[in-house]
């Protein structure tokens, strides 16, 4: 498989991230090093390092790309829901379903990788920006940046926790989110 020309960096990055996803699914996130990603991408490690200086940088790029896609699908499903509490509930549950339906995203929550998922979720500006914007939107557009940042971090923790340690059923997860997460993020009026 011939490697891409140097004047196509966006395509090269996408090809590398696609290869990383395949490796994460087949070998697990923790067991996938840069050499394996380069092998799956059909390039040298030197070429891989030209685009991603570290494994953390590669992981972050993968998570950011995946998070963007998931957020768009969740927004498409829940954007028309007017009630903020119902919209938050359905957005959290839709996020769980989307991650679980994506083998590459779901690989981050295997028992061997859940620590990596928690660390990378704290590093991802994309995850924090989207959850902060969502928190502000649900909180009536209030511009309290500190409160929105804390709400975003709480929302991320709830989702990561349920992905790493799922409930016994969707009904149980729904009840946990309704009872404990929604009230903390959107107290009753």
The per-residue pLDDT for range 115-172, each reduced to its tens digit, is 787 788 777 777 777 777 777 776 666 667 787 778 888 888 899 899 999 999 999 9
CATH entry, 61-185, from 3.40.50, 1.10.357, 3.40.30, 1.10.530? 1.10.357
In whole angstroms, what is the distance from residue 31 CA to residue 47 CA?
Answer: 21
Looking at the chain, which residues constitute the CATH 1.10.357 domain(s)?
Answer: 61-185
Instruction: Report yes or no: 96 and 162 within 8 Å, Cβ to Cβ.
Output: yes
Looking at the chain, which residues constitute the CATH 1.10.10.60 domain(s)?
Answer: 1-53
In whole angstroms, what is the distance from residue 51 CA to residue 29 CA?
Answer: 19
Instruction: Report yes or no: 127 and 121 within 8 Å, Cβ to Cβ.
Output: yes
Q: How far apart are the first and last CA of the chain?
A: 60
pLDDT band at 3 (very low <50, low <70, confident <90, very high): low
In whole angstroms, what is the distance from residue 61 CA to residue 124 CA?
Answer: 9
Tokens at residue 163, please?
């992905």
**Residue 1 in this model has a pLDDT that exceeds 60:** no
Architecture of domain 1-53: Orthogonal Bundle (1.10)
Q: Give pLDDT, residue 27.
A: 96
Q: Give pLDDT, residue 65.
A: 93
Q: Please state, rounded to an integer, the average pLDDT across all residues of the chain.
A: 87
């Amino acid at each position: 498989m011939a490697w891409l020309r140097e004047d196509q960096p966006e395509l090269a990055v996408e090809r590398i991230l696609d290869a990383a996803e395949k490796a994460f699914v087949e070998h697990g996130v923790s067991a996938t090093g840069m050499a394996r990603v380069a092998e799956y991408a059909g390039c040298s490690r030197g070429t891989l390092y030209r685009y991603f200086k570290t494994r953390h940088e590669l992981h972050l790029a993968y998570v950011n790309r995946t998070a963007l896609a998931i957020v768009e699908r969740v927004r498409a499903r829940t954007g028309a829901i007017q009630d903020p509490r119902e919209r938050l509930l359905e957005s959290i549950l839709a996020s769980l379903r989307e991650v679980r339906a994506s083998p590459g995203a779901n690989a981050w929550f295997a028992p061997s990788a859940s620590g990596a998922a928690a660390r990378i979720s704290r590093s991802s500006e994309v995850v924090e920006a989207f959850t902060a914007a969502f928190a502000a939107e649900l909180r009536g557009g209030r511009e309290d940046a500190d409160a929105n940042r804390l709400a975003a971090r709480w929302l991320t923790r709830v989702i990561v926790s349920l992905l790493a340690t799922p409930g016994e059923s969707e009904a149980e997860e729904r009840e946990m989110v309704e009872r404990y997460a929604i009230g903390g993020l959107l107290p009753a009026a």
